[in-house]
A = this chain, B = another copy of it.
Amino acid sequence: MNAAAGDRHALTQRAIESLGNRFGQRLSTGAAIREQHGRGEAFATGFPPDAVIWPENTGEVSEVLRTCHELRIPVIAYGAGTSLEGHVSAPNGGICLDMSRMNQVVEVHAEDADCVVQPGVTREALNSYLRDTGLFFPVDPGANATLGGMISTRASGTTTVRYGTIAHNVLALEVVLANGEVIRCGSRARKSSAGYDLVRLFTGAEGTLGIITEATLRLHGQPEAVGSGVCSFPQLRDAVETVIELIQSGAPLARIEFLDDVQVRACNAHSKLSLPEMPTLFIEFHGTQASVAEQFERAEEVARAHGATGLDWACDEARRAKLWRARHHAYFAALAMRPGCECVVADVCVPISGLAECVAATRADIDRASLIAPIVGHVGDGNFHVLFLLAPDDAAEHARMEKVYDSMIAHAHRVGGTCTGEHGIGLGKRDKLVAEFGEPVVALMRRLKEAWDPHDILNPGKVFRSS
């Protein structure tokens, strides 16, 4: 241990001692606890924090920040641990704030279709809570993430094509800044042009600018009618062209999900479906009975023109639930294809005109590299994922995966897309952020970070490397 590391170690011990006196049993330095809090889902190598604290209110978060600010100790917020780019990992150690006890729905304003939640509320818990109000929170990244985590990674998912990403559905935030100061930004108004849009700035900042302690969210009316359907296509391109045409025609799609033949095979096995093992679209419309029926009629026309078969619209509720459960379990279905595997979930988002080519090129690259990797996508947004299933210790296979993933991102950039539609940068994509925008833009982000967190204690090293 060199001198600087020794100093840091001593300061960390001081912080833990001081906070331990304050938080008692709600601070843990147990190895298993730390280990668990240092890794998200699907990111193999995590770095454990030095301690985990379970705060119960904003004041406690502020206290932790004040201590850590004074002693220059990193602080990392932890929601449900479902992030995919190493966001919760603690490469410089420090204190993990596990937000799971701040899990109250504080207010629901049914008349305004908004609610106020603590950051540890999960999206499923929120929707259970809302069940009888006629309202729901639509953003659905698949995993049962916490809302604090979803805001911090700018999450989206299957319903974004209709309801927007989480950035469209956050109205206001309470945030604890690096020095422990508590601020509120945004309002309950549906729109505002009052100064810099701090709400959107904290949204997707991955905990590097502040810790979210409360969020006001926009809700939506539960649709009167929901219609789901599924159809298969001879070629990937036919499915994607169907999507393009539907989007262009202004069809009010609520969800439109693509599964390639490999993913359909996985879902059939895992979720006991018997879909044709071909490129497949899951489609959903929300509206009135009449408008949903009208939309499916039009969608069928478009799909058939692109060679769709096995059309199964107007599913009943049970069938609908089964289909979407299968889609949500796509990740687990993929894992089951290769027992004991590790899974790297790749994420890019492209303009829809580049989608077919980008997916097809990626599929070809995967096959050429002899990898097992189903493809799924929120294709209405031009967003798709490759689920690379890897033998944990096969370095050569990992290297081949990296190469395919690099090509996929380079391709996305070539057609005007982004290296991440919804998973964020974290540790995993810092170089890709530079590739996407160039060093000057990342430098600009860093200047902002330095202005607000001069000691670099808020989730240091995420989004970009510390200077």
Q: Could you say which of A4-12, A16-24, A108-116 contacts chain B?
A: A108-116
Interface string of A209-223 (1 = CB under 8 A from B): 100000000001101
Chain A residues with a Cβ closer than 8 Å to the other chain, count: 91
Interface residues of A in 313-365 (CB under 8 A from B): 349-353
Residues of B within 8 Å of A154, CB to CB, are 192-193, 197
A253 to chain B, nearest CB (A): 12
CB–CB A464/B423 < 8 A:
no
Partner pick for A444 among B111, B183, B190, CB 8 A cutoff: B183
CB–CB A416/B193 < 8 A:
no
If A183-B444, A187-B436 are given as contacts, then 12 extra A-B residue pairs at C-beta distance below 8 Å, sorted by A number, are: A111-B353, A156-B193, A160-B191, A177-B444, A183-B438, A191-B381, A194-B432, A195-B463, A198-B441, A198-B444, A290-B290, A448-B452
Interface string of A162-181 (1 = CB under 8 A from B): 00110110000000010001
Total copies of this chain within the assembly: 2
Interface string of A195-211 (1 = CB under 8 A from B): 11110110111000100
Q: A223-B250, A294-B291 are in contact. Are A422 and B191 (CB under 8 A)?
A: yes
A205 to chain B, nearest CB (A): 6
Asked if A451 CB lies within 8 Å of chain B CBs, one says yes
Asked if A249 CB lies within 8 Å of chain B CBs, one says yes
CB–CB A418/B185 < 8 A:
no
Smallest CB gap from A289: residue in B: B294
A459 to chain B, nearest CB (A): 13
Q: Determine chain A's interface SS by DSSP, over half rule.
A: loop
CB–CB A422/B111 < 8 A:
no
CB–CB A196/B463 < 8 A:
yes
Q: A433-B195, A440-B181, A448-B452 are in contact. Are A351 and B416 (CB under 8 A)?
A: no
CB–CB A421/B114 < 8 A:
no
Partner pick for A193 among B109, B183, B249, B424, CB 8 A cutoff: B424
CB–CB B193/A420 < 8 A:
yes
Asked if A155 CB lies within 8 Å of chain B CBs, one says yes
Please report the C-alpha to C-alpha distance between residue A413 and residue B183 in the assembled complex, in whole angstroms: 16
CB–CB A201/B204 < 8 A:
no
Asked if A302 CB lies within 8 Å of chain B CBs, one says no
Please report the C-alpha to C-alpha distance between residue A250 and residue B155 in the assembled complex, in whole angstroms: 24
Asked if A224 CB lies within 8 Å of chain B CBs, one says yes
CB–CB B244/A189 < 8 A:
no
CB–CB A113/B193 < 8 A:
no
Return 7 A-B CB contacts under 8 Å, by A number: A111-B351, A155-B193, A168-B168, A187-B436, A190-B383, A191-B383, A195-B463
